[in-house]
A and B are shown apart, each in its own frame.
Chain A
């Protein structure tokens, strides 16, 4: 069964610290993996999209990694800011069917 699991469910860190969010998937065949940031009360915003051949992609202080062999991805946030407080959603696209399988998200809170 195609699944996407994210961990941790929630995370609290202090401003300025780094953190890493995890995404494990069982989707096959794999097409691409996306990370979204969703602020409370807003729509998700795309951070990165990675295909099979890409193992790292950055967007400012956000760096996503992908290991297609182990079917794992991580989102690393460097020097966190209060504005990073949000939910981060991992989405995997299945090849051939173009199905999108969503993780349930990690809720990140950054405190001063």
Chain B
């Protein structure tokens, strides 16, 4: 398997523009997670899906952020309008299981990340 695939790998945009980040989880995995990582705040969970359904979006910073998972093999994270403080690396991860109880199936596999720069 190719692992978790994210695109684009790098995105530079201007403040106010819409940004869409894409993720393809590992085939057969049932949960998908979106993370944001900055030097100041470290790694933060934004939202996660079980079987394509959003379970917990309490980490989404504000209404400018939205995430969708139309099917088991694709998810998007959209920022509209983007702001300079959104600059970060955004990671997508997937797990085989539907929970975070700590069993082997809960191992999260991360993608390579998208480095977003908002000017």
Contact = CB atoms under 8 A, between A and B. Distances in A.
Please determine whether chains A and B interact with each other in the same assembly. Answer: yes
Interface of A: 31-32, 34, 42-46, 49-51, 89, 91, 93, 98-100, 102-105
B100 A43 contact: no
A93 B48 CA distance: 14
Interface string B92-110: 0100000111111011111
Interface in B42-56: 42-45, 55-56
Contacts of B55: 98
Contacts of B102: 31-32, 34, 49-51, 93
Given A42-B112, A43-B112, A45-B110, A32 B43 contact: no
B111 interface: yes
A89 B111 contact: no
B100 A98 contact: yes
Measured as residues with beta carbon below 8 angstroms from the partner, the interface class of chain B is 20 to 34
A29 to B, nearest CB: 12
Interface string B58-92: 00000000000000000000000000000000010
B110 A32 contact: no
A21 to B, nearest CB: 15
B113 interface: yes
B107 A49 contact: yes
A33 B42 CA distance: 17
A100 B48 CA distance: 11
Nearest to B45: A100
27 contacts: A31-B100, A31-B102, A32-B102, A32-B106, A34-B108, A42-B113, A43-B93, A43-B110, A43-B111, A44-B43, A44-B108, A46-B107, A49-B102, A49-B103, A49-B104, A49-B106, A50-B102, A51-B101, A51-B103, A91-B43, A93-B101, A93-B102, A99-B56, A102-B42, A102-B44, A103-B42, A105-B42
